[in-house]
Amino acid sequence: MSESADDDRPRRVRVAFDPDILAADAVRTHGIALPGAPVREAESVFLNDLMRAQLRLACACLIGFVLVSLLLTSAIMVLASTVDPVMFGVPMSWLLQAYAYYPVILLFAIVFARNAARNERRFRVLTEVEGDGEGEAR
């Protein structure tokens, strides 16, 4: 009975790694490209430039937002520690805390969205020009 049970089991197959297949795919594809898709060096450079530009934009907006928020917070603290004027029965420092941050957030969101869209438009223009030039040369 043990011999028949051994015959019914599938045999083990050894799978080996073929580095030639991986090397061929690495040459033809890049990043999230589909396997077998050709890689254009210029598009790769433009894509890296786009990613760096978006990262610089994000860092600049973040640093700017933090600095403006710190400035607004310090202004509120100074206002609250000195003479705090009252407007509509509410101290001015409370009004600033409640309503002054929203326009700052909206401003930085608009600046970031417009500049990110501009960076992407520039990337599309560069890749279209590069793609058209290669198509005509063929």
pLDDT in tens, 46-55: 888 889 999 9
* pLDDT recorded at residue 136: 44
- Pairing of β 90-91 and β 86-87: antiparallel
pLDDT at 82: 86
Check whether 88 has a pLDDT greater than 90. no
Res. 4: pLDDT tops 50: yes
* pLDDT of 137: 43
Q: What's the one-letter identity of residue 33?
A: A
Is the predicted pLDDT of residue 5 greater than 70, yes or no?
A: no
Per the model's pLDDT, the better-predicted residue between 126 and 1 turns out to be 126
Supply the DSSP string of the chain, one letter for each residue.
-HHHHHHHSPPP------HHHHHHHHHH--TTPPTT----HHHHHHHHHHHHHHHHHHHHHHHHHHHHHHHHHHHHHHHHHS---EETTEEHHHHHHHHSHHHHHHHHHHHHHHHHHHHHHHHHHHHHHHHHHHHHH-
pLDDT for residue 3? 58
Rounded Cα distance between 31 and 45, Å, is 12
Q: Are 75 and 17 in contact (CB under 8 A)?
A: no
Give the dihedral of Cα atoms 72, 77, 78, 79; nearest 10 deg.
90
**Does 110 or 84 have the greater pLDDT score?**
110
